[in-house]
């Protein structure tokens, strides 16, 4: 199947269609993505994150600013991110600049999560050493007890990030390694697409 019909001038249209299909075909977390960051001297690192919203502004995800990825993004606000859907044999790559979301947008998402997830995020000193799982469970239970039925406060260093892509690349599996690969580069308010050898 030619995967780019009807959306060749706008990669967001293709992405939305592919994501909708992935939500039906992927057994777990169709929004899981590999996020690559780097220190200011160029040392890279990569990990899986859950994408929590994609539109023509960019790609949203959330983390603690003091985590490794948060620290690296604040010092070097550029990233690359890829979603790979094994069930569909497709992937989408994003490269661009990263900025912090507003506290209002972050707070709205934080409080849309389950209460236990909120508490876990509130007690986690993400990426720092932890003596044992029991310590984290104890801290979560203590916070839950202190709060009672009160809302979980948004942790001060827990933030949303927006990757604003300069490049979006769409890849779809084809027979005999004749894959479809189209790269879009931002051009003013629009996008310029170029088919690439796979």
Residues 169 and 76 in one domain: yes
The answer to the question of residue 135 being in a domain is: yes
Provide the number of structural domains found in the chain.
2
Active-site residue identified among 78, 90, 93, 177: 177
Residues 173 and 188 in one domain: yes
177 is catalytic: yes
Nearest residue to 98 (alpha-carbon basis) of 122, 127, 121, 71? 71
Give the domain CATH number at 83: 2.30.110.10
Q: What is the pLDDT of residue 9?
A: 73
Over residues 48-77, the mean pLDDT reads 96
How many CB atoms within 10 Å of residue 151? Answer: 9
Distance CA 98, CA 72 (A): 11
Over residues 99-106, the mean pLDDT reads 97
Distance CA 20, CA 12 (A): 12
CA atoms within 13 A on the CB side of 100: 17
The answer to the question of residue 89 being in a domain is: yes
Distance CA 3, CA 180 (A): 8
Q: Are strands 58-64 and 54-55 parallel, antiparallel or unpaired?
A: antiparallel
Q: What is the pLDDT of residue 103?
A: 96
Which range marks the domain in which residue 19 is found?
11-111+157-195
Residues 131 and 53 in one domain: no
The answer to the question of residue 4 being in a domain is: no
Residues 79 and 40 in one domain: yes
Taking the alpha carbons at both ends of the chain, their separation in whole angstroms is: 16
Q: Express each pLDDT in 123-135 by its tens digit.
A: 999 889 999 999 9
Average pLDDT, the chain: 93
The DSSP code for 153 is P
Residues 118 and 51 in one domain: no
Residues 125 and 172 in one domain: no
Rounded to two decimals, what is the model's pTM? 0.91
């Amino acid at each position: 199947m030619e995967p780019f019909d009807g959306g060749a001038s706008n990669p967001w249209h293709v992405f939305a269609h592919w994501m909708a299909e992935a939500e039906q075909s992927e057994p777990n977390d169709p929004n899981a993505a590999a996020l690559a960051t780097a220190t200011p001297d160029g040392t890279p690192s990569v990990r899986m994150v859950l994408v929590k919203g994609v539109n023509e502004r960019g790609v949203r995800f959330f983390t603690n600013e003091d985590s490794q990825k948060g620290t690296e993004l604040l010092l070097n606000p550029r990233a690359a991110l890829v979603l790979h859907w094994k069930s569909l044999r497709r992937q989408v790559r994003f490269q661009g600049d990263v900025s912090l979301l507003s506290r209002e947008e972050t707070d709205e998402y934080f409080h849309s999560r389950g209460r236990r997830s909120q508490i876990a995020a509130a007690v986690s000193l993400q990426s720092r050493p932890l003596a044992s799982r029991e310590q984290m469970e104890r801290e979560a239970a203590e916070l839950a007890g202190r709060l009672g039925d009160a809302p979980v406060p948004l942790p001060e260093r827990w933030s949303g990030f927006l990757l604003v892509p300069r490049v979006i690349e769409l890849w779809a599996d084809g027979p005999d390694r004749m894959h479809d690969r189209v790269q879009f580069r931002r051009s003013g308010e629009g996008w310029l697409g170029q088919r690439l050898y796979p």
